[in-house]
Structure 1
Amino acid sequence: MPQKQKSEPQSDRNPQSNRDPKQSMSWLLQYLRPVKWRMLALLLLLLATTALQLLNPQIVQRFIDQATGSGSVSGLLSLAGLYLAVAVLNQLFTVSVDFLGNDVAWRATNQIRANLLKHVLRLDMRFHNVKTPGEMIERIDGDVTNMSNFFAMFIAKIVGSFVLLAGILGYMFVYDWMIAATMTAFTCLSIGVMFRIRDLGVKASQSERQANASLFGLIEERIAGIEDVQANGGVPRLMNRYHRAMRSVFLSGRKAWMLRVMPWNVTVAMFTVTVTIVLLLSVRMYLQGHITLGMLFLFFQYTQMLNDPIEQLGDQLQEFQKAKSGMRRARELLSLRSEIADGDGDELPPGPLSVSFERVNFGYGEDQRILHDISFKLKPGERLGLIGRTGSGKSSISRLLLRLYNSDSGVIRVGGADIRSLRLESLYRRVGMVTQDVQLFDGTLRDNLTLFNPRLSDETILETTERLGLRPWIEAMPEGLDARLSAGGASLSAGEAQLFALTRVFLTQPSLVILDEPSSRLDAATEATLQRAVDQLLEQCTGIVIAHRLATLDKVDKIMVLRQGRIIEFGPRAALAQDPSSEYARLLRADRQEELA
């Protein structure tokens, strides 16, 4: 028996995996490749926009020189018209760059979201038992949104800033090397400082995202249990926890922000010194007659323009730190591996499936053993009734059969095949389950009955609901199968919800069905209707029925009684019922006495 694998981040097994820039870039490029042509178009637009930005100050310079000299009115009007046309064109290009940048970002990051969600849905239940939906929303959407914000402006701001810097400095070297050298020194120092401390706020940003995830998890968890919170006076305690979580968000967010703005603060100080030097040199050259008034304006304008790309680089460096923390958390999530390894077998015999447990042991934790040495066999088409006190291991057997968990040791066979050798899709196609809590989704009746399977026709759905007694209720709805249900199923009674769950299983035509206390919340009349539906379902397949009410087990073939994770009785129902010394017979007597009382 191979040792059970534990779900753990790959980064824990290889601490350098999330810190290797080459791996990070390779991981990122796989999402950017599908949008490479849009990125090329974005780059071309960006070059055109940069050219227009460099052109406008030169038009103003010529306008000033002609206005202070002997320029004609028509020439000045032409320059003014040209300036206006370039400004409008520049604005159009800027809007196009923003639009295309966001388009590229959302196309790339939406695929990351899809991959994260798909990966999380395939992780085993040990992972989901310790993660709240609120935390997962933050991991799948919140972290990726930070990445999207960075990607949206990466080319437009980062690449564009470098192109603009190169254009300004190149132009200035043509006119005056001293001013150009001053501006170049400022640029190199600013970029060097920013890149030197670019990761300063990454770790703090990760802590900020984790604090947000914890807050969302707390809110989601308490809203989901609002009835218990209100009924037991838990609102003050909840608000106390909320305020503590918000304080953690505030403190971690403040620390992350202060570290992220550090590069910007440094560049502001250096820019102030640079502007002063350039202005002094320019005014001196003007007073000496080496440059015109228009050229003085041009030098000043280019110096001011120099600050824009530096500032944009600083802003994007903050976004980069957020994006990098999100990227690390996303890669960490994707590196988690489920302990449920998919097999490669597809073959299961047609018709009802046999079931066997061979010395199976299982626990949800290393020190929490639930099942002890469980062994039994069911022939194809047999029905097993599982009974036992709460915590005896009944539901754990069903979860192992569906491979929501792996057993710690032993072998489980369905249709004669070890379930670990089967593809999960093949197993789920032949095994159906109705749980105590029926999950309904925001969608139509049809979507909820078929679980969004478009291959099932309305005729098949209505024929199945007719057999289960649910069709009159559907036909009473104004829109029939197109009527919408809200998430959670607040519009359905417990009986209707259970019939919904049975219909889902009917529609999959399973060969093995597990019913986990399907009538636990029903009244006697609704339970009778449900029991007839269950009897119809079990005519075509092998069945395992977990029940507290012994009356629901009148038609099963075998009974298994569990106590503290061990089988204390297993055999034909009729024989156990007639044996006054059996545990099942004792439970039947106790059940009858309770009814009489």
Structure 2
Amino acid sequence: MKKEEKSGQIFDVQILSRIYGFLKPYRLRFWSLVTLIMVSACVVPLNPLLIRYTIDNYISSGNYPKLALMLLVMIGVLLLQGLLQFVSAFIAGWLGQTVIRDIRVKLYAKILRLRLKFFDDTPIGRLVTRTVSDIETLNDVFSEGLAAIAGDILQLVLITGVMLYTDWRLTLICLCTVPFMVTSTYIFKEYIKKSFNEVRLAVANLNSFVQEHITGMNIVQIFNAEKLEYDKFLKINEVHRDANIKSIWAYSVYYPVADVILAAGTGLIVWFGSKQILAHDMTLGTLTAFIMFMNLFFRPIRFLADRFNTLQMGIVSTERILKLLDSDDYAVNDGKTKADNLKGDVRFENVWFAYNDEEYVLKDISFHVKEGETIALVGATGAGKSSTVNLLSRFYDINKGKIFIDNIDLQEYELDSLRKQIGVVLQDVFLFSDTIEYNITLGDKRITRDKVIEAAKLVGAHDFIERLPDGYDYNVMERGATLSVGQRQLISFVRALVHNPKVIVLDEATSSVDTETEEMIQNAIAKLMKGRTAIVIAHRLSTIQNASKILVLDKGEIKESGTHEELLEKEGWYADLHSMQFV
């Protein structure tokens, strides 16, 4: 079994204390729930005792007025029991849903603050499981977890005590069947625990497969691999089916076995009780009460197996959630300095960076971009261009060296404030399934429709947006599937500019557009870069010939720097790149 699917300890005190920590804001309701469950457990044995009293004192003597009164009392007890169960079930459900809402919000807030390295190292499917499935499992911990287990155990103790008080001989006969019930329950618990783990793993594999292959459906169809992928899906789905059948089989065996044991115990009680009644050593009311006690006694035993498994799964899920909540491995250390008045003077000093320890992708990088200047980064794929600009927004943190903006260490800036001042346009544009306007403003209410239109006109995106159905209210669907690559690129450019940043980062921003659209963007850049610092990454050298400085990177090192003309005169790395594109 994978480490991810371990079963955990049922009574892990540390984990249980953390679960209670989430309950603290609602501790009054929680203790009210515990009290209600305890009271309900105490009410359960009352009806058998009332029936025993009624049979022995009123039915046998034909006292119908008293019999009618006792029936009303028993109905009242049943109604009270039903009311207690209803209120406790509602409070348990309310607590469960409220707490998992709080935990999900905390977990998502944590995820939002993690560095991109975390998402590089963690599969998306696992994060979805944490924020949805694992947290949902906690709801069962409150509805069928510790409080319910405590209620079942109290009910067992109370019923056993009442049975011993009523007739110790029948109680011993009843207890003779307990080892068989406990043994079958334990075997069921262990089997169902294993099958639950298999089901959970099968569900995770199925979800991952479906998510990955639907996302990459174009590749599947391009290479005519539908039959192959279909066969793979059939196998994964069969594993999922078989895992579920195992758990169904366990329930199908356990409950009939439990019923047989209960029936055997009831039969022994009827056999012995009947003999005692005939010998005038026991009343009919006592025997009737004990038949009811048998059902009440074995009911919680049967439920305990499920409740322990539920609690165990909840402990495992909580452990995973807490591991993510408590982890600071990928957390970003937030500074205190506001970047509201940023000017845009950027300086890298002897910067070293590695995605994995010691495997440096940037080596001793140093350069200076003055306020309002445009610097270009060029080089082959894997040279370190994108890594350089990712460091500026602190998507990743450097290993060695310093990065300064306006002579202030980058790590001293408040992260939210810093990123508001840096506009980024990436080569791979991501659009949410929402309107054009939302994808530009990202829900920022301070950005008006007029500002969006103004920025779109400057970029040259306004005309094509207006031609779309509903214009700026047009829903672009998931990942902007209904738009062309060039249109998505233009929208991302508007998105960066409408926030009025002091620093603009263009990471291959024009590599995916046609010549006409690229011309449009270049014209917009000429207007919008005035007064702003710009860092441009481009494969097309024609787009960066007017840059204040060009850096040529190779294998994480700066090989050359200078203006377009200066670098051509050196007849080095840049001249070679230039000749490959224009000769």
Shorter-chain TM-score: which interval? 0.7 to 0.9
- From 387, 399, 402, the counterpart of 1:396: 387
Displacement after TM superposition at 1:583 (Å)? 3.9
CA distance in 1, matches of 2:228, 2:24: 50
The change in CA–CA distance for 1:191 and 1:330 in structure 2 (over 3 A counts) is farther
The change in CA–CA distance for 1:38 and 1:539 in structure 2 (over 3 A counts) is same
Alignment of 1:268-287 (within 5 A): 274-287=265-278
- From 367, 372, 395, the counterpart of 1:376: 367
Q: CA RMSD in A?
A: 3.8
Report if aligned partners of 1:43, 1:155 keep a CA contact under 8 Å in 2. Answer: no
The change in CA–CA distance for 1:349 and 1:76 in structure 2 (over 3 A counts) is closer
Report if aligned partners of 1:139, 1:330 keep a CA contact under 8 Å in 2. Answer: yes
The change in CA–CA distance for 1:152 and 1:545 in structure 2 (over 3 A counts) is same
* Unpaired stretches in structure 2, ≥5 consecutive residues: none
CA distance in 2, matches of 1:382, 1:359: 21
- From 561, 571, 583, the counterpart of 1:581: 571
- From 546, 553, 556, the counterpart of 1:555: 546
CA distance in 2, matches of 1:554, 1:61: 99
1:147-197 deviation line (CA, Å, top 9, x unaligned): 222322236632332343243233323322333455568779977997999
Which is further off, 224-233 or 241-250?
241-250
- From 208, 222, 230, the counterpart of 1:231: 222
Amino acid aligned to 2:106: N
The change in CA–CA distance for 1:171 and 1:356 in structure 2 (over 3 A counts) is same
Amino acid aligned to 2:423: G
Which is further off, 294-303 or 342-351?
342-351
Which is further off, 530-539 or 295-304?
530-539
The change in CA–CA distance for 1:365 and 1:544 in structure 2 (over 3 A counts) is same
Alignment of 1:5-20 (within 5 A): none
- From 273, 284, 287, the counterpart of 1:293: 284
Report if aligned partners of 2:338, 2:418 keep a CA contact under 8 Å in 1. Answer: no
Which is further off, 295-304 or 552-561?
552-561
Displacement after TM superposition at 1:61 (Å)? 4.1
Displacement after TM superposition at 1:546 (Å)? 0.8
Amino acid aligned to 1:234: A
Amino acid aligned to 2:333: D
Displacement after TM superposition at 1:230 (Å)? 1.3
Find the counterpart in structure 1 of residue 451 from structure 2.
460
Displacement after TM superposition at 1:510 (Å)? 1.8
- From 152, 167, 177, the counterpart of 1:176: 167
CA distance in 1, matches of 2:454, 2:177: 78
CA distance in 1, matches of 2:575, 2:203: 55
Displacement after TM superposition at 1:429 (Å)? 2.5
Report if aligned partners of 1:147, 1:327 keep a CA contact under 8 Å in 2. Answer: yes
1:494-517 deviation line (CA, Å, top 9, x unaligned): 233222212222233222221111
Report if aligned partners of 1:135, 1:216 keep a CA contact under 8 Å in 2. Answer: no
Q: TM-score under structure 2 normalisation?
A: 0.85
Displacement after TM superposition at 1:434 (Å)? 1.1
- From 96, 99, 102, the counterpart of 2:90: 99
Displacement after TM superposition at 1:561 (Å)? 1.6
3-state DSSP class of the match of 1:41? helix
Which is further off, 181-190 or 562-571?
181-190
Instruction: Please state if 1:220 is matched with 2:211.
Output: yes
% same residue: 27
Q: TM-score under structure 1 normalisation?
A: 0.84
Instruction: Please state if 1:338 is matched with 2:329.
Output: yes
Find the counterpart in structure 2 of residue 317 from structure 1.
308
CA distance in 2, matches of 1:141, 1:199: 26
Displacement after TM superposition at 1:101 (Å)? 1.6
Displacement after TM superposition at 1:261 (Å)? 11
Report if aligned partners of 2:262, 2:295 keep a CA contact under 8 Å in 1. Answer: no
Amino acid aligned to 1:406: D
The change in CA–CA distance for 1:538 and 1:209 in structure 2 (over 3 A counts) is farther
Alignment of 1:105-504 (within 5 A): 105-154=96-145, 157-180=148-171, 183=174, 209-243=200-234, 245-246=236-237, 249=240, 274-339=265-330, 341-348=332-339, 350-366=341-357, 368-475=359-466, 481-504=472-495
- From 537, 549, 573, the counterpart of 1:546: 537
1:539-560 deviation line (CA, Å, top 9, x unaligned): 2321111111223224321111
Report if aligned partners of 2:152, 2:300 keep a CA contact under 8 Å in 1. Answer: yes
Find the counterpart in structure 2 of residue 592 from structure 1.
582
Amino acid aligned to 1:150: V
CA distance in 2, matches of 1:506, 1:392: 27
The change in CA–CA distance for 1:521 and 1:299 in structure 2 (over 3 A counts) is same
The change in CA–CA distance for 1:345 and 1:196 in structure 2 (over 3 A counts) is farther
1:61-93 deviation line (CA, Å, top 9, x unaligned): 456557853425555555555555554554454
Amino acid aligned to 2:354: G
Which is further off, 105-114 or 75-84?
75-84
Displacement after TM superposition at 1:587 (Å)? 3.6
The number of equivalent residue pairs is 579
Amino acid aligned to 2:89: D
CA distance in 2, matches of 1:485, 1:496: 11
CA distance in 2, matches of 1:253, 1:412: 55
Find the counterpart in structure 2 of residue 506 from structure 1.
497
CA distance in 2, matches of 1:416, 1:201: 62
- From 505, 516, 528, the counterpart of 2:519: 528
3-state DSSP class of the match of 1:570? strand
The change in CA–CA distance for 1:224 and 1:24 in structure 2 (over 3 A counts) is same
Displacement after TM superposition at 1:294 (Å)? 2.9
Find the counterpart in structure 2 of residue 46 from structure 1.
37
3-state DSSP class of the match of 1:521? coil
Displacement after TM superposition at 1:28 (Å)? 0.9
The change in CA–CA distance for 1:327 and 1:267 in structure 2 (over 3 A counts) is farther
Report if aligned partners of 1:45, 1:93 keep a CA contact under 8 Å in 2. Answer: yes
Alignment of 1:38-77 (within 5 A): 38-47=29-38, 49-50=40-41, 53-61=44-52, 64-65=55-56, 68-72=59-63, 75-77=66-68
